[in-house]
């Protein structure tokens, strides 16, 4: 919703570009305090082994 609240979209193409830019920033550039000030991409990369271990133990 944050992206939608910040931007006006002139067309579907414009919306796609702006949303993709926002999604990239949100996931790859902006740290999140809820995951130890890492980006979601960093958090996923560092915790991928934990996820695999949990699945292996089933």
Q: Is the pLDDT of residue 46 over 70?
A: yes
pLDDT at 4: 67
N- to C-terminal Cα separation, the chain = 36
Per-residue pLDDT, averaged over 23-32, amounts to 94
Query: What residue ranges do the domains of the chain occupy?
Result: 32-58
The 10s digit of each residue's pLDDT in 29-44 is 999 999 999 999 999 9
pLDDT at 42: 94
pLDDT at 21: 93
Q: Is the pLDDT of residue 25 over 60?
A: yes
């Amino acid at each position: 919703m944050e992206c939608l609240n910040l931007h006006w979209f002139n067309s579907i193409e414009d919306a796609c570009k702006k949303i993709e830019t926002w999604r990239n920033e949100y996931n790859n550039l902006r740290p999140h305090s809820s995951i130890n000030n890492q980006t979601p991409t960093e958090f996923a990369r560092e915790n991928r082994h934990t996820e695999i271990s949990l699945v292996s133990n089933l």
